[in-house]
Amino acid sequence: MKDENNFTKTNQAKKVEELYYDCQHWKSKLWFVEDESIFLEHLLNSYVFEPNTPNLFERLQDYLERLKKSKKEKTALFQRITKHESNLVGMFDCKNITCDLSFTRKHHTIQAEVVGFVETFQFLKADVFNYAGGILKKRRP
């Protein structure tokens, strides 16, 4: 009897609203990562680095490749979030715990992917800033 009470329209609506909010939050994080990616790409393609730095071209190319890979992953993740978000309406049709758990598991899987992606991007960003900080051209007065 308790399971039936958990699947009232009000309870399901609240769950869907919470999951939808999570999806919006994840998308917001990915949009912010997009802005940071654009900045990093412009930085790496600029001429603000000391030209006589050993392996400069190779390092910059490596960062640009990692950034390109990150953008592809972000796009795929964004699409998974959008699809999941549109499928959340199906939770209203759930009448048992198995159906409900299916949506919840999918949600947690995507959440873990978002967290992992953002962490990986933060490491890339830190690598770029740590490297770039030491080889930026010094402005001469």
Q: Which of 108, 111, 101, 105 is nearest to 6 (CA)?
A: 101
Interval 84-113 mean pLDDT: 88
Local confidence band at 131 (pLDDT 50, 70, 90 cut-offs): confident
Percent of the chain with pLDDT over 90: 60
- Report residue 124 as tokens: 């890339």
Tell me the pTM: 0.85
Interval 84-91 mean pLDDT: 89
- C-beta of residue 49 within 8 angstroms of C-beta of residue 136: yes
- C-beta of residue 139 within 8 angstroms of C-beta of residue 54: no
Average pLDDT, the chain: 88
Residue 51 has pLDDT above 80, yes or no: no
